[in-house]
Amino acid sequence: MSKTIVITGATRGLGRALVAEFAAAGHTVIGCGRNSAHVQKLCSQYPRPHHFAVVDVADAAAVEAWARQVLQEYSPPDLLINNAALMNTPAPLWENPLEEFSAVIDVNIKGVFHVIRAFVPAMVKRKRGVIVNLSSGWGRSTSPEVAPYCATKYAIEGLTLALAQELPVGMAAIPLNPGIIDTDMLRQAWADGASRFPKPEQWAQKAAPFLLALGAQENGRSLTV
């Protein structure tokens, strides 16, 4: 059965790889990203019924406007994936610039809240759908010089597990650790060391079916691909 899938951060990395897998499997993909050129490329590669828009998830008003448009044209999402995230430049916590720390918080935590606030009421009304918030190994353990990122992903774990307790029977909220993948974000932290790990396209071949199979039975479980 074809699903309606909403995914943030759809233009790069894991999000972009998932778009390709979901679309190839016959699902309708609705995504957003901040780079207009990348969004336009997605629109060209995946025309209607797919839908892609320029949206900064840190901007609550922009997210609300996007959700209104999407919910007017499509059914509420069967699968909502909060994937958009930023990594801080590795440094001791006290050396992190205020602006960078704030940006990581605004995208990684507040951005997830904005998307949930905009889309989940329609899902709750229907009493159906799965919300997957991308966590991290650094949301369940820590490393030096990535404290801001760790803080946000620990927050996502707590936020999602609490959300799971609020949903009606038949829905699910799941914090998902994607594993270690060779993305631009990982290269920001590990430089060339990231090349030892699978590319996003390889990861998505396993992750897309895994995500599509999630249901109410996984509500409130911290999972890993």
What's the CA gap between 97 and 222, in Å, rounded? 31
225: in domain: no
The domain spanning residue 109 has which CATH number? 3.40.50.720
49: in domain: yes
Domain of 198 in residue numbering reads as 4-215
113: in domain: yes
What does the pLDDT read at residue 88?
96
78 Cβ partners below 8 Å, 6+ apart? 3, 4, 5, 128, 129, 130
Per the structure, the count of domains in the chain is: 1
221: in domain: no
44: in domain: yes
Catalytic residue among 46, 74, 149, 154: 149
To the query of whether residue 149 is one of the catalytic residues in this protein, the response is: yes
Number of other residues whose CB lies within 10 A of the CB of residue 93: 14
What does the pLDDT read at residue 23?
98
What's the CA gap between 210 and 149, in Å, rounded? 25
Q: Cβ(152)–Cβ(85) under 8 Å? A: yes
Helix (H) or strand (E) segment spanning residue 126: helix 111-126
> What's the Cα-to-Cα distance from 83 to each of 42, 73, 138, rounded to whole Å?
16, 22, 15
Q: Note the helical H segments in 191-225.
A: 200-212
What does the pLDDT read at residue 82?
98
What does the pLDDT read at residue 109?
98
Number of other residues whose CB lies within 10 A of the CB of residue 72: 7
132: in domain: yes
224: in domain: no
Q: Which residues of the chain have pLDDT under 50?
A: none
What is the SS3 assignment for 179? coil
222: in domain: no
